Structure 1
Amino acid sequence: MSQKPEITTLGELRAAGYTHRTLREEMRENLLAALAEGRSPWPGMHGFEQTVIPQLERAIIAGHDVVLLGERGQGKTRLLRTLVGLLDEWVPAVGGSELHEDPFDPITDATRERLAAEGETLPIVWLHRSERYVEKLSTPDTSVADMIGDVDPMRVAEGRRLGDPETIHYGLVPRANRGIVALNELPDLAERIQVALLNVMEERDVQVRGYVLRLPLDVMVAASANPEDYTNRGRIITPLKDRFGAEIRTHYPLEIADEIAVTRQEAELAAAVPDVLLEILARFTRNLRDSAAVNQASGVSARFAIAAAETVAAAALHRATVRDDEAVARPVDLETAIDVLGGKVEFESGEEGRELEILEHLLRTATAETVREHFRNLDLGPLVEAFDGSQTVTTGDKVTATEFLESLPELSAPEMYDEIAERLGAHSPGGRAGAIELALEGLFLVRRLSKESGAGETVYG
């Protein structure tokens, strides 16, 4: 954060050469400057570069209010929060103004009177960009007073006239003047509250209990919503939809690499989780999204993969603590995610009782896809031959990496273990054990090895 300017009066501000810009002009110019420099103003947004981001950039350049439509966990809220980066870091405002008024463009009679009385000595305060972003989770109990404002009975009791603008206690939207109002889950707002937003978005005035206050508010309204065929809690009324200049559809990551990047970025991992395990979780999540057994109208959130990665990391740390092992996740830890995350997926009604079976099948499928991707053209025949009918290898949530590696059979081509580890970039004992464990699981999935599981142990033979 750069240092806040030291200018404190209108006269100093004028001498410094400050010029008034509307919010939309400010965002447009800052966006175009970033694009001209080749700098991305959308940090942390993976998978939207060729689809959502260009649409949003055009909407901002056009000066439109925006609504993002998409299923849960598609990054809508995160994208809204990145809009803050398009604001100037510091902007001046009239000191004592509830509505953050620009000293060169006051919008209330009270501030105009102060300007006439105080002139160049009018006090100036500075607003950081973070203070100019207001986020509201839309809930059915939200009132017009919350969003727009209401008459303050205490001010009336002090002797002011009921029609005096000074009796108004302003709500969230007017107080966000010169900033961005982000409304999450917009359809959850009662229709009468949505109606109250119509004038704010089009005429830019505020109506409170029959009084029309001509306040040319300078706000950008950005909202998120689930598609209408998903949410049954409410809807966006047609006149309000018409007020949004841009309706942008979001989506889940289209590429595996983007799915992995989102998980790596958002997950708070208690232990090391190799990229190959995140890839399996990413493919697992995508398989759920393609499965006919899963209710696709509700979506499978990116939070599923994030929570799965965190669970896998927790299992690795648990084993490391109990057995004095290296805190590195291995394929055997993937099963722990299934145990606790089934409730994050909404299955079709006809699949009742088969949820665990479906999850296990899709995880196996994701594992097989990952094995094919990384071990393609690698002959694992010597590893299969080492299992002569009596040889077995045991792994599990209580088996350390060292114990697993020491139990591996000798191979006719001993360098194979090194090649398996190298394929996955595994160098530590924990990573090396995970790589070889994944190879054994791959051989089981193509029915070249057998596997028996139970009591926290898995035996390959």
Structure 2
Amino acid sequence: MTGEARAPEGLPRTAGELRAGGYHPRGVKTEIRENLLAALREGRNPWPGIVGFDRTVRPQLERALLAGHDVVLLGERGQGKTRLLRTIAGLLDEWTPVIAGAELGEHPLDPITPESRRRAVELGDDLPVAWRHRSERYAEKLATPDTSVGDLIGDVDPVKVAAGRTLGDPETIHFGLVPRAHRGIVAINELPDLAERIQVALLNVMEERDIQVRGYTLRLPLDVLLVATSNPEDYTNRGRIITPLKDRFGAEVCTHYPLTVAAEIDVIKQEADLIAEVGDPLLEVLARFVRNLRDSSAIDQRSGVSARFAVAAAETVSAAALRRSALVGEDPPIARPIDLEAVPGVLRGKLEFESGEEGRETEHLTHLLRRAVAETAKAHFAGLDLRPLVDVVVDGHLVATGERVPGAEVLGALPELPVLHEVAARLDVGPNDPSGRIAAAVELALESLYLARRLAKDSEDNGGMTVYGP
């Protein structure tokens, strides 16, 4: 939401016009419930950009929101928890009326602060109305150990005290994040990282709907939906959600990594910023690679393997293809299996390995990546006889590839073979496609033959030339 966006013309601009137009105060949880029900009835997707949760997380979250519950999303890193929370804001009304000039987003027909109530009495139907976009009604805070009560709830404003007001005057309070989100959504990421004494400050907000600042209790009927995220290990390692606060959340919804290879590919396609073409077979290799990592005993699974790893891997592969394009003048830049070799070295630091695996990190990653290549090739080439390709390589048609070898050169090393057309067709590559795309299909077949020990492969240690031979 940019600052240039303006509310539509013709909306009420005073409390009197608002009342005459039939606008009535509606709680934020009721608003979300009614808008969610409308989307479900109309067949609209209320969760744009959320992949792989249709039959698991989404129904649970929808039930929680329909019930009007505050929600904790519990899951490993990189499972889309924050994305999911931000999507909830799309269930708010696009525009909502607020009292113009008020510190909090109060409804003009239901003011809650002393100052706004006084203005409502003084101005009556002339109380000015402004319109707030739903993007401004979502507040997000990353919980850190140095977060204070003042940040979340509020504190006494010394400037207002110096102006002559007494400490007991509620108008001396500078409101924090939660009160300022009145009639909106407050999202707290990594809730267990909040110090326990800070979590205590949220108890009154969630149950009694009032706030306490330095011993002064201000009765504010706050209207907020509180949502939070947490990693499972946070309950015991870095911190925990205190029992009274956990009890006040109406729902705890567990997230998960994509359950299928197809869902994993969809996430990569949606999130990755690819600067060169990376075909679906290579994206499938990366999806299978990430799933292999999540099953590996060498990886610390308590830390998890984020979906961001697969996204970063795809972006790395596309960057390798773009670099080769610049080196050899190949256009358009298209990724080939040789570009997968860039992934282990670049992304090794994004993973946590089990103790005792020091020095073997790259070995583990290379092994699991090769397994992903073999699984992908098996899925696409099942039943296809690649013996003619093996025979021509054994007869002396060595195939060289690498970061300085264009796709046309890879193809030129082999004679015309019907099996190569079949290989390309299995990967949805046509005979008139760019040479780089056809070369990517041929390379995948050659690599699968190497992994099946039907061909040999000689690679230079510096990542230069790779040669497939007998």
TM-score band by shorter chain is: over 0.9
Q: Deviations over 1:367-418 (max 9, x none)?
A: 000000011111111111112343310001110011111112x25xx22211
Correspondence for 1:98: 103
- Equivalent of residue 84 in structure 2, options 79, 87, 90: 79
Partner Cα separation in structure 2 for residue 438 and residue 230 of structure 1: 44
Say whether residues 1:370 and 2:373 are aligned partners.
no
CA contact (8 A) 2:397 2:413 kept: no
Count of residues in Structure 1 that have an aligned counterpart in Structure 2 = 458
DSSP-derived class of the 2:12 partner: coil
CA contact (8 A) 1:148 1:173 kept: yes
Correspondence for 1:337: 343
TM superposition score normalised by structure 1: 0.97
Correspondence for 2:426: 423
Partner Cα separation in structure 1 for residue 236 and residue 272 of structure 2: 27
Say whether residues 1:457 and 2:462 are aligned partners.
no
DSSP-derived class of the 2:109 partner: coil
| Structure 1 position 225, deviation (Å) | 0.6
- Equivalent of residue 24 in structure 2, options 10, 19, 22: 19
Partner Cα separation in structure 2 for residue 155 and residue 69 of structure 1: 41
Partner Cα separation in structure 2 for residue 169 and residue 70 of structure 1: 34
User: Which moved further from structure 2: 416-425 or 203-212?
Assistant: 416-425
Where does the alignment leave 5 or more consecutive residues of structure 2 unmatched? none
- Equivalent of residue 135 in structure 2, options 125, 130, 135: 130
- Equivalent of residue 229 in structure 2, options 212, 224, 230: 224
RMSD: 1.2
CA contact (8 A) 2:188 2:227 kept: yes
Say whether residues 1:37 and 2:32 are aligned partners.
no
Moved segments of 4+, more than 3 Å: 228-231
Partner Cα separation in structure 2 for residue 189 and residue 431 of structure 1: 50
CA contact (8 A) 2:207 2:248 kept: yes
DSSP-derived class of the 1:386 partner: helix
Q: Deviations over 1:88-128 (max 9, x none)?
A: 00000011111110112111222111111101110000000
| Structure 1 position 3, deviation (Å) | 4.7
Partner Cα separation in structure 1 for residue 199 and residue 234 of structure 2: 19
DSSP-derived class of the 1:394 partner: strand
Question: Residue 425 of structure 1 aligns to which amino acid in structure 2?
Answer: D
Distance change >3 Å, CA 98–CA 345, structure 1 → 2 = same
Q: Deviations over 1:156-202 (max 9, x none)?
A: 11111111111000000000000000000111111111000010011
Partner Cα separation in structure 1 for residue 148 and residue 8 of structure 2: 36
Distance change >3 Å, CA 342–CA 230, structure 1 → 2 = farther
Correspondence for 2:8: 4
Q: Deviations over 1:65-91 (max 9, x none)?
A: 000011110000000010011000000
Say whether residues 1:433 and 2:433 are aligned partners.
no
DSSP-derived class of the 2:438 partner: helix
Partner Cα separation in structure 1 for residue 455 and residue 318 of structure 2: 27
Question: Residue 221 of structure 2 aligns to which amino acid in structure 1?
Answer: P
Partner Cα separation in structure 2 for residue 298 and residue 9 of structure 1: 53
| Structure 1 position 230, deviation (Å) | 7.4
Partner Cα separation in structure 2 for residue 23 and residue 345 of structure 1: 40
| Structure 1 position 229, deviation (Å) | 5.9
Question: Residue 378 of structure 2 aligns to which amino acid in structure 1?
Answer: R
Correspondence for 2:156: 151
Say whether residues 1:202 and 2:207 are aligned partners.
yes
After TM superposition, the structure 1 = structure 2 runs for residues 151-190 of structure 1, keeping only pairs within 5 Å, are 151-190=156-195
Question: Residue 105 of structure 2 aligns to which amino acid in structure 1?
Answer: H
DSSP-derived class of the 2:459 partner: strand
Partner Cα separation in structure 1 for residue 6 and residue 46 of structure 2: 18
Distance change >3 Å, CA 211–CA 3, structure 1 → 2 = closer
- The alignment-based identity, stated in percent, is 65
Correspondence for 1:28: 33
CA contact (8 A) 1:4 1:126 kept: no
Question: Residue 124 of structure 1 aligns to which amino acid in structure 2?
Answer: V
User: Which moved further from structure 2: 291-300 or 105-114?
Assistant: 105-114
Partner Cα separation in structure 1 for residue 371 and residue 343 of structure 2: 15
Question: Residue 65 of structure 1 aligns to which amino acid in structure 2?
Answer: D
CA contact (8 A) 1:184 1:225 kept: yes
CA contact (8 A) 1:229 1:297 kept: no
Partner Cα separation in structure 1 for residue 236 and residue 264 of structure 2: 25
| Structure 1 position 457, deviation (Å) | 1.1
Say whether residues 1:442 and 2:460 are aligned partners.
no
Question: Residue 419 of structure 1 aligns to which amino acid in structure 2?
Answer: E
DSSP-derived class of the 2:233 partner: coil
CA contact (8 A) 1:230 1:297 kept: no
Partner Cα separation in structure 2 for residue 390 and residue 230 of structure 1: 61
Partner Cα separation in structure 1 for residue 91 and residue 256 of structure 2: 23
| Structure 1 position 365, deviation (Å) | 0.4
CA contact (8 A) 1:230 1:298 kept: no
Distance change >3 Å, CA 149–CA 3, structure 1 → 2 = closer
Partner Cα separation in structure 2 for residue 169 and residue 397 of structure 1: 59
Distance change >3 Å, CA 309–CA 29, structure 1 → 2 = same
TM superposition score normalised by structure 2: 0.96
Partner Cα separation in structure 2 for residue 341 and residue 106 of structure 1: 53
| Structure 1 position 21, deviation (Å) | 0.9
Q: Deviations over 1:324-355 (max 9, x none)?
A: 11300000000101111011111110111111
DSSP-derived class of the 1:340 partner: helix
Q: Deviations over 1:277-297 (max 9, x none)?
A: 111001000000000111111
Question: Residue 69 of structure 2 aligns to which amino acid in structure 1?
Answer: H
Question: Residue 208 of structure 1 aligns to which amino acid in structure 2?
Answer: V
Partner Cα separation in structure 1 for residue 223 and residue 322 of structure 2: 51
| Structure 1 position 19, deviation (Å) | 1.6
Partner Cα separation in structure 2 for residue 228 and residue 394 of structure 1: 47
- Equivalent of residue 405 in structure 1, options 392, 403, 411: 411
| Structure 1 position 2, deviation (Å) | 8.7
Distance change >3 Å, CA 3–CA 216, structure 1 → 2 = closer
DSSP-derived class of the 2:72 partner: strand
